Homo-oligomer: A and B are copies of this chain.
């Protein structure tokens, strides 16, 4: 028996590397760029970039913000680092400091770039093909001068429904992308797909694939079994075990009431650690017993620091034992589904928990 209080978040960098290599094979004719925005989806941009730079020879990275690019530059001195949100007055210094390459998404941003160019490197242009998010619209592309066009070395767009194999939007965007590229940038390199699009096949891969979610173990092709290895494990210690009398309520707002006598465990992790509160009365924790994995239902509201679960049917739960929130069986995708959101959001939140114990598994 132990007394323990802190959750443990384990990052399996070896699996992350294997995922990168698997994806590289799937897109063997393209450059496999690593997307490490949002602090590498919460896993640590510097850590992930450095590992892929050193172990996999990755030389192309994508971030969202200039300030993120500065962090990646520390880990990847010789890499190309593209910034998806582009360049602005509030990020110009980051671009200069770290020699970042902006993705230009509007005529207005292009004007800013022309006034503030600090190197001759050709930049990337983002064009709109159906997502209706960032990117030049066709009318705006028509207004580009030959000199404007000459500033670009690569053209990109982004799929809306790449995780749904047969969604009509995929072919629709692909044909838009090919048409616009031919019309305006016939000689440029091209990048259309993130992880999900990469799985849609060679015609979606072009010259650069932008690999984010799948690297981190998320199934971006949910129409088939996940080909990625899990990268994160999350567990937290049982801080208390108690009997729950029949008729007693549990947690804030008394949302659970015991219909019979139960045994409960209070586990030292909560939404303050990034576990979605939406799992209240819905989610589950796992207790391994030999080669079996027992499920303990979360009961009552998840609070900032604690989760209460029903361990009535689990043999011999002990103080200080770790209950698993994520493991190789119950993954980010499973938790996302149970919480009514996507695994991307789950990962982005969990990784930012500052009070966890972080364990790196480098194999």
List the 5 closest pairs (A to B, CB-CB), nearest first: A38-B272, A3-B88, A64-B305, A3-B112, A352-B352
Contact A4 B90 (CB under 8 A): yes
A17-25, A74-82, A125-133, A199-207 - the one binding chain B: A125-133
Contact B38 A243 (CB under 8 A): no
CB distance from A265 to the nearest CB of B (A): 11
> A319: CB under 8 A from chain B?
yes
Alpha-carbon gap, A311 to B275, bound state (A): 34
Q: Sample 20 A-B pairs with CB under 8 A, ordered by A number.
A: A5-B66, A38-B272, A64-B304, A85-B305, A88-B320, A108-B240, A128-B242, A131-B251, A132-B249, A133-B308, A137-B243, A160-B251, A160-B252, A160-B254, A161-B254, A271-B344, A274-B349, A278-B341, A349-B349, A352-B354
This protein's copies in its complex: 2
Provide the A333-355 mask, 1 if CB < 8 A to any CB of B, else 0: 00000001110110011001111
CB distance from A268 to the nearest CB of B (A): 6
Within 8 A of B (CB), among A3-50: 3-6, 37-39
Alpha-carbon gap, A264 to B355, bound state (A): 39
Contact B300 A355 (CB under 8 A): no
Contact A341 B277 (CB under 8 A): yes
Which residues on the B side are within 8 Å of A167 (C-beta)? 254
Contact A133 B354 (CB under 8 A): no
CB distance from A280 to the nearest CB of B (A): 9
Which residues on the B side are within 8 Å of A132 (C-beta)? 242, 244, 248-251, 264, 300, 308
Contact B6 A67 (CB under 8 A): yes
The winner among A130, A244, A342, A352 for most chain B CB atoms within 10 A is A352
> A145: CB under 8 A from chain B?
no
> A91: CB under 8 A from chain B?
yes
Provide the A115-146 mask, 1 if CB < 8 A to any CB of B, else 0: 00000000000001011111101000000000
> A193: CB under 8 A from chain B?
no
> A306: CB under 8 A from chain B?
yes
Which residues on the B side are within 8 Å of A305 (C-beta)? 37-38, 64-65, 84-85
- What is the interface of chain A mostly: helix, strand, loop, or mixed? loop
Which residues on the B side are within 8 Å of A169 (C-beta)? 249, 254
Q: Known contacts being A132-B242, A160-B253, A253-B161, is A85 close to B268, with CB within 8 Å?
A: yes
CB distance from A65 to the nearest CB of B (A): 5
Contact B64 A272 (CB under 8 A): yes
> A357: CB under 8 A from chain B?
yes
> A187: CB under 8 A from chain B?
no
CB distance from A258 to the nearest CB of B (A): 9
